[in-house]
Amino acid sequence: MSDASRTPSPSDPPAVDAVTRIVLRPVASPLPLGFFALGMGSAVLSTLQLGWVPLAQSEVLLLLILIFVVPLQFVAGIFAFLARDAGAGTALLLLGASWAGTSVTSLDSPPGQPVVAQAVFLLALVPFVLALAGAAVKSKPLFAVLLTLTAVRFCLTGLYEAGAGEVWQSAAGWAGLGIGAFALYGGLALLVEDGEQRTVLPLFRRGAARRSIEGDLREQFTAAQQEAGVRHQL
């Protein structure tokens, strides 16, 4: 008789699923906060790149980004990990750290002057942000588009910092305004979805992301045993 068809004996050890409980703590979605912080930071920085704010006041804007944008991105990223979304958490924390790094180094550089070291950093960051966008495109295409636009903006700014000319800075500024508008819509759509517990404004969720909204509780937790923090190794 095979083990599968054998009647369990009282002396047999209990099955793993009979003695194991995985406890999950519900958290509010951090994505609206992440979208709004990214959009706000992009729009504010664009005013500097487009020359709408005097260079003499650039320090004020950079400090506002450090005080306002960076902490919100970090909070959103940490809670994205707590909500079991490694992709969103990685993206939000990576962007938050990039805002912090470029703001601090810009504060220590002559206003309005390209910094080659920043160009190296921003251009090196582009493929990593695009990789995150590629990972998100199958399930969260709206988030993937936002990350792609952010990568384009990093590339344009990097070209300016490398000394390619001010036209690239202006292009980065306009791209930043586009990111701000896109992030405003995305954050609003996510807030409405979270409040209504259903998609109201189009978010174009697909695959696992769509099932996470429309699926039942059993479907949500089926793969929990394979997730980091539950399985033995990462």
pLDDT, block means (10 residues), the chain with 234 residues = 55 58 73 94 93 90 94 95 90 95 90 89 96 91 93 96 93 96 93 81 72 64 63 57
The crossing angle, in degrees rounded to 10, of helices 141-161 and 31-49 is: 30
- How many CB atoms sit inside 10 A of residue 62's CB? 21
Phi, psi of 13, deg, nearest 5:
-65, 150
Determine the pLDDT at residue 108: 86
State the amino acid at position 44 in one-letter form: V
pLDDT value at residue 197? 75
Which amino acid, 161? E
Looking at residue 234, its pLDDT comes to 53
The predicted pLDDT at position 60 comes to: 92
Nearest to 42 by CA among 20, 73, 17: 73
